[in-house]
Structures are given as C-alpha cells and as structure tokens.
Structure 1
Amino acid sequence: MKRIILALLTVISLVPFLLSLVGSLEEPQVQSQLQLSQTNLLLQASAWQGKETSGAWGETLQKALLESQPQQAGLKQYETASQELTTYLDRLKIESTTLGSPDTSNGQSSPLQTVIAKNQITLDQIKINLGLLQQQQNQMDQALDTWRSVLTHGQSNGQKIAAVLIALGQGETISPDAEKIIDTQLKGWFRWQALAELYRRQGNVQAPDQVCQTPACVDLEAEVERASQQALVKLALLNSLPLLGGGVGVLLVIGLLLQWALGRENAVLATNATTKWNTPWHWETTWQVLVVGFFFPSQIVLPLVVGVLPLPLANLSLLGKAFYVLGTYGAIATVGLGVLFLSLKDFRPLPQDWFTFRPNLQALLWGLGGYLVALPLVVVVSLVNQEIWQGQGGSNPLLSLALDSQNWLVLAIFFFTAAVLAPVFEEIIFRGFLLPALTRYFPVSVAIILSSLLFAIAHLNVSEILPLFVLGSVLGLVYTRSRNLLSSIILHSLWNSGTLLSLFILGGG
C-alpha cells in the first residue's frame, strides 16, 4: 500500500515538474539581462577622463578593463537583446490570443497579461537605449526608427522618453518637462548622453566640437567623472575576483590531476574515493524522502497554498517578493527536513559518517578549495552551454530579482536565503542523504553523477542543467572525500555568495 501511495504521489508531482522543465525551454535566460548590465557598466566606465589622475595611469587602467570600442560592442549586445525579447514577446502574445480574452471583471490582469506588460516595459527600455547607442554611432535614421517603434507600440513611460529623444534628434520643440522625463526614465551612460544633448540645445551649442560651458553642462560633466570612476572600480572588482579565483582554480585542478596521475593511492582525489556508506535502509526510504519531502511539497502543496492565499504576487514590491522567496523556500526546507527526520527515526543511531558536521580547518580548506576548482570548470561549461541554448532555457528568478535590488534589507534577505538556507537544506538532502544512500547500489563515482544530475534537474531550468551538474559533481566530490557536510555547505555558500555579489555590483551599474 505504501508503495502504491508513493507511486501516485510521484506521478502527481512529476506532471507539474516536467511541465515546468519543458516550459523553461520557451523562457529567456537572465544571462541576456546580465550581459546588458555589464554593458551598461562598461559604457559608464568608458566615460571616465581621469582628470584627477595621471594620464598614463588612467589610460592603462581603462585599456586593462574596457573593450577597445565599448559603444560598438554595446550596440551589438542591445540589438541581440532587442531581437530575442521581441521574439519572446511575440510568442507570448500569440499564446494570449490562442487562450482568448480572460475575465478581468475583478480589475486584475491575468498572469500572462502581466508578464507581457512587464516584458514590454523592458523591451521599451532596451529600444530606447539602443537608439541612443545608434545615435552615438552616427546612425541617426536608425535611432529615430527605433524610438518611433516605442512611440507606436510601447507603454506610456516608454512613449514619453521616446518623444523627448525624437524631438532632440530632429531639432524640434522640446517638452518643458524633458529633463524630468530623462532623469526618471534613463540611467547611467544613457541618461548622460540624453542630458548632454538637452543641455547643449538649451545652451544653444550648435557645433559638435563646441564645448558646452553652461552651469548644467559643467555639473553634468562633474557627475559623469565621479560616477564613471566608481564604475571603473566596480569593473575591477567584477573582473579581478573571478579571474584571480579562476586562475588559482586552474592551478589546483592541474596539481590535483598530476598528483593523482603520479601516485593514485596517496592522492587527495583518492581519499575515500571508493569507500561507501553503510546504508541500513532500502531504496523505498530514499524514494519516500525525495517525493514526500521535496517534490510533492514544492510542486503540488506549495502552489495550492499560494493559490488559496490572497497574495497579489505580480504586484508585490521587491521587498515583498524577497519575503515571499524566503517564506516559500523556508517552508519547503522545513517540510523536507521534517520528512527526512521522521523517515530515518527507525534507523537511529545512524552508522558512522552519516550527516557528519565537523567545524574545523580541514572543512574550510575543502570548501574553499572546491569553490576555486568549481570556478573555471563551471565557467567553461557555461560558455559551451550559452552556445547550445542561445539565450533560451530559463533561469533562476532569484537572479533577476537580486539584479534589480539595491535595497540593503532586500539584499540581506536574498543573501540569507541563497547563501545560508539553500546551501544547508540542499546539501543535507542531495549530498548528506541522497548521495550516500545511492552508494548502497552504485559505486561512489556513479552516486556522485546521479545525485548531481537530480540536483541540477531539480532547479527546473534546462539551460542550467549542465552548469549545475558540474557544480553538483564538485560538491559531491568534496563531500565524499572530506566526509564532512560542512565542507560542501561552505562551497555551496561561497558559490551563491559570489553570484549575489556579482549581481549587486552589476545592479548598481
């Protein structure tokens, strides 16, 4: 009877699970958004003149961190992003038409309509920025066409800024609130370009090579110098930390492989390489924990509970979404750990090495070393992965939320969720429980592969399966060799913390 119930729960859980996985094929990756954020930061940094610094030093710093032609590179990035998002939006609109007009008598839009509206706002912003890049590359006709498309098909805010930019570009009468519109609708380098053009018009500065000396121009120039210098510092942090860590990681990989090749028995990689765990339960218990403690609550129970609660998820503020992410993940983790505890109560005391948690220097070294090794491996795999999926395949929604946030409370909530709660829960389930349980039936190496594959698939985005599989394999390798759950938790926490730090730096750009 128990197996019949488990089988039913498995089938019920697999339906939304597989639908979510397949559905991610049609969703854009957050990678495009990350690339645009990095492009924005590059454009800001390229505006630095280094007036308070020696010319040679400033030139060397810019050459080291910036591309030779950042505006041309940015133009290509924005053209690609515009095409990808336009294609995605067209697909959503076709889907919306196919489904028919939803009932909006309660004053609320359907979830699909909300997604379309939000993506339209993003597309408007991308096109506005694209037009400014085209203008700087002396492609004025293309820039005007790009802005006119926003004026015709965009949302109200996009139409306002498009009208201002078209008026500036064609030398027409400028709206009295043009400066306010530019200030509220544009950011960073794009705001600077639009304001510079506006101030030149207001100061009657006609010739392109004529310097604008009005107070507004002077203040803007000082602002650009300060902000672009800060952008250079952010770029230095963004590039130097992964490069330094990745370089050390490459050396570690080479050293470990050489040590293993020259003396396999005494090599670090050979430590506990074939030592299995003594697992006193059968596959049915493992199945029960995964289905009842993880898949069924996350795929069936949680969506039902959220659907019943009067939560306007689409209209939540960023802080509200942060608390929602923390609450839902905390609920899943609590249920999962509770089911695990109850499922194993008949087998206590557990055999040696089960759920070992030893806070010592060795745990820290294994965790840090594993993180450094994972850096170059995941980066290489991610580059290949990008070519495979071409911007599609979905991404963790937390990445996009963290990128948009510059609120310290929101960031603290995301950090606790991603760098503390997620590593502890996921390492206990996938490395602490699943991997050792699989060694009852498979060699340690196969158990690492299988648990890593399930770990990757459980994140429900096909584009992330390959990178997460590699990360999961390193996590499994660290845990099986160290026999200390704290080691893999440290590695997992470092990985998520590094990702959040990068998103914070990019979001600030």
Structure 2
Amino acid sequence: METISPIFLQILLAVPIIGGGAYYFAQARQLSVRGSRLEIGHFGLPDLFMGTALALYFGLSGLQILLKGDTAPELRVEHVRSNFGFMLVVLVAVLLFVSTRRIPLAKAFNLGLEDLAWVPLRSALALGTALPPIWGIGFLWERYLQNSNPEQALVALFRSSAESGDWSSVWLVVLSAFLQAPVVEEVLFRGYFYVTLKRYLGAFGAAFLVSALFAVCHGNVRVIPGLFILSICEIITLERFGSLWVCICMHACFNGLSLLLLYMESQGWLPH
C-alpha cells in the first residue's frame, strides 16, 4: 500500500489555514466598504485613562512573567482562586466606573439581546474559520521554538490535575477558562479597551494594540501568535455583528475545546 506524500499532506493542511485567513481578510475588506455595526460613541477620555491604566498593569504583569522564562513560578490552585476573584473585582470596578456616568451598560459594551438567538451559529462560524489559522501558525511557532519554553501555567496545572485525578482542581480550571475568562476578558479587552481605543486610534491601530496586549498578558511565549490571531478574528467578528456575545461565546468554545483536547491527551487518548 502506497504512503501519502508528505508534500500532499502539507498542501492538504494548508487549504483550511489559507481558507480561514482569506475569510477574515474578506470580512475586513467588506467592513471597510459597508461600515461597522459596532457602537463606539459611549466611551470618552475618562475611559481612555482608565483603560490605559489597566492595560499597562496587565501588559507589564504579562511581560514580567515572559522575561522570567523557565524560572516562572509554578501555578497553584490558590493562585487560580485569587486570580479568579481579582479579575471579577476589576470587571465590577470597570462596570461601576462606566455606570456612574449614566452610560447604559448594555449599549456601551454591545451586549444587547436583540440578536441573541443567532449567537451560537455566528460564533460557531467565526470560530470554525479562525481555528485553522490559529492552530497552523501555532504549530509553526512551536516548531520554531523547538519546545524550549514551558507550557502555559494554567495548562500545566490542568494537565497534572487531570493525570492525578484531582477533580476539584480540574473543575476550578474549567470554571475559570470556560466561564470567567471569556466574560471578563471579552468585556475588558474587546468591549472596553478596543471600543475606547478605536475612537482615538482607528480600527487598525486599536485592533493591533489590543491583540498584542491580549497575547502578552497571558505570560507565555508559546501562545502569543495564536492568541493574537484569535483576538484579531474576534475583533473582526465584533465589528461585523456588533455583538460582544458572539466574542464571549467564541472565547468560551475555544477554551473549552482546548481543555477537552488537553484532557484527552492527559488520559492517553491523544498523542502528546
């Protein structure tokens, strides 16, 4: 029986990667012609100052972890709990800061309920076309790094907990990655930082800065390209549909799928 040519396999794998990239490029071009459905008029200079302060904190914290490299401290369950609580406090602080100026939160953060029934379908389409470029670029980046950098701390905690049967830690990571992170990070990064910056820097500058910040603040070299691309895809999706719910659902499904694959790998159902 003849083996499949490696070149043929590479071409076969390149098709969905190129297709996903072409899809988002086409969406970005259409947005430049038809215009965006995203409302950006609710945030002003106070939000620019607040957003800049928070962005500097997140960016410097992530950069500090990146610079530590192999000496970065091991993530423990208590760290996940404290981070969970801290991020919720930040979210509440931002919402209170916005609401004290009598800005309607649902409109300001593009969280209207008008097209909520379409969110699952739209997020599935958006994530399905984003995954091939994310995974493809991530694979090439891993090849370039040659596994010289440790995996993300939360990933390592989930893997070790799943292998040892520590289900309380497993479910804590699932709760953090599948519920807390999508809601908090989307409201802050795409709903607040991006919408505020777009008013002053334009869509391109705001998208680049927010996506770079989003990738860096996770504090791991191995995930930077993938998270940058995910953020760009979410921003284009936000501009297209004008709903942050789609981005939240995309983010939750992305994290959920990643954890599912990690769990299957930890149980020996997938190759490491």
Please state which band the TM-score falls in when normalised by the shorter chain: 0.7 to 0.9
Task: Please name the residue that 1:281 is paired with.
Answer: 44
Task: Note if contact 2:182-2:252 (Cα within 8 Å) is conserved in structure 1.
Answer: yes
AA in 2 matched with 1:377: P
Deviation, 1:379, is 1.5
Distance in 1 of aligned mates of 2:32 and 2:171: 36
Task: Note if contact 1:439-1:447 (Cα within 8 Å) is conserved in structure 2.
Answer: yes
User: 1:44-92 CA distances to partner (integer Å, 9 max, x unpaired)?
Assistant: xxxxxxxxxxxxxxx9xxx99xxxxxxxxxxxxxxxxxxxxxxxxxxxx
**Compared with structure 1, are the counterparts of its residues 347 and 404 closer, same or farther at alpha carbon in structure 2 (3 Å cutoff)?**
same
Quick check: which has more Rg, 1 or 2?
1
* Aligned-partner SS, 1:356: coil
AA in 2 matched with 1:291: A
**Compared with structure 1, are the counterparts of its residues 325 and 270 closer, same or farther at alpha carbon in structure 2 (3 Å cutoff)?**
farther
**Compared with structure 1, are the counterparts of its residues 492 and 355 closer, same or farther at alpha carbon in structure 2 (3 Å cutoff)?**
same
Indicate whether 1:487 and 2:246 are aligned: yes
Match of 1:432 among 155, 179, 191: 191
Q: How does 1:31-50 map to 2 (within 5 A)?
A: none
Identity of aligned residues (%): 22
**Compared with structure 1, are the counterparts of its residues 393 and 288 closer, same or farther at alpha carbon in structure 2 (3 Å cutoff)?**
farther
**Compared with structure 1, are the counterparts of its residues 269 and 500 closer, same or farther at alpha carbon in structure 2 (3 Å cutoff)?**
farther
* Aligned-partner SS, 2:41: coil
Task: Please name the residue that 2:156 is paired with.
Answer: 400
Task: Please name the residue that 1:418 is paired with.
Answer: 177
Task: Please name the residue that 1:369 is paired with.
Answer: 125
Distance in 2 of aligned mates of 1:373 and 1:413: 29
How large is the RMSD of aligned CA atoms in angstroms? 3.7
User: 1:229-260 CA distances to partner (integer Å, 9 max, x unpaired)?
Assistant: xxxxxxxxxxxxxx99x977765655665x66
Which is bigger in relative contact order (C-alpha 8 A, separation at least 6)? 2
Distance in 1 of aligned mates of 2:131 and 2:196: 28
Distance in 1 of aligned mates of 2:23 and 2:229: 19
Task: Note if contact 1:393-1:463 (Cα within 8 Å) is conserved in structure 2.
Answer: yes
Indicate whether 1:332 and 2:86 are aligned: yes
Q: With structure 1 as the length reference, what TM-score do the two structures score?
A: 0.42
Deviation, 1:339, is 2.2
Task: Note if contact 1:385-1:466 (Cα within 8 Å) is conserved in structure 2.
Answer: yes
Deviation, 1:287, is 3.3
* Aligned-partner SS, 1:443: helix
Task: Note if contact 1:293-1:335 (Cα within 8 Å) is conserved in structure 2.
Answer: no
Deviation, 1:268, is 7.3
**Compared with structure 1, are the counterparts of its residues 351 and 339 closer, same or farther at alpha carbon in structure 2 (3 Å cutoff)?**
closer
Distance in 2 of aligned mates of 1:425 and 1:281: 21
* Aligned-partner SS, 1:405: helix
User: 1:154-182 CA distances to partner (integer Å, 9 max, x unpaired)?
Assistant: xxxxxxxxxxxxxxxxxxxxxxxxxxxxx
Task: Please name the residue that 1:356 is paired with.
Answer: 110
**For structure 1, which runs of at least 5 residues remain unmatched after alignment?**
1-58, 65-242, 300-312
Deviation, 1:286, is 2.9
Deviation, 1:327, is 1.4
Distance in 1 of aligned mates of 2:192 and 2:224: 21
* Aligned-partner SS, 2:199: coil
Distance in 2 of aligned mates of 1:356 and 1:274: 10
Distance in 1 of aligned mates of 2:38 and 2:243: 14
Task: Please name the residue that 1:456 is paired with.
Answer: 215
Distance in 2 of aligned mates of 1:475 and 1:255: 13
Match of 1:295 among 37, 46, 57: 57
Match of 2:255 among 496, 501, 508: 496
Q: With structure 2 as the length reference, what TM-score do the two structures score?
A: 0.75
Task: Note if contact 1:281-1:347 (Cα within 8 Å) is conserved in structure 2.
Answer: no
Deviation, 1:492, is 0.4
**Compared with structure 1, are the counterparts of its residues 399 and 432 closer, same or farther at alpha carbon in structure 2 (3 Å cutoff)?**
same
* Aligned-partner SS, 1:442: helix
**Compared with structure 1, are the counterparts of its residues 458 and 271 closer, same or farther at alpha carbon in structure 2 (3 Å cutoff)?**
farther
Task: Note if contact 1:293-1:339 (Cα within 8 Å) is conserved in structure 2.
Answer: no
Deviation, 1:291, is 2.9
AA in 2 matched with 1:461: N
Task: Note if contact 2:80-2:173 (Cα within 8 Å) is conserved in structure 1.
Answer: yes
* Aligned-partner SS, 1:395: coil
**Compared with structure 1, are the counterparts of its residues 355 and 256 closer, same or farther at alpha carbon in structure 2 (3 Å cutoff)?**
closer
Deviation, 1:423, is 0.6
Q: How does 1:57-206 map to 2 (within 5 A)?
A: none
Count of paired positions: 245
Q: How does 1:172-251 map to 2 (within 5 A)?
A: 251=19
Distance in 2 of aligned mates of 1:393 and 1:453: 19
**Compared with structure 1, are the counterparts of its residues 341 and 294 closer, same or farther at alpha carbon in structure 2 (3 Å cutoff)?**
farther
Match of 2:99 among 345, 349, 360: 345
**For structure 2, which runs of at least 5 residues remain unmatched after alignment?**
5-11, 62-72
* Aligned-partner SS, 1:479: helix
**Compared with structure 1, are the counterparts of its residues 351 and 424 closer, same or farther at alpha carbon in structure 2 (3 Å cutoff)?**
closer
Deviation, 1:280, is 4.0
Deviation, 1:326, is 3.9
Task: Please name the residue that 1:508 is paired with.
Answer: 267
Distance in 1 of aligned mates of 2:202 and 2:187: 20
**Compared with structure 1, are the counterparts of its residues 270 and 387 closer, same or farther at alpha carbon in structure 2 (3 Å cutoff)?**
farther
**Compared with structure 1, are the counterparts of its residues 269 and 392 closer, same or farther at alpha carbon in structure 2 (3 Å cutoff)?**
farther
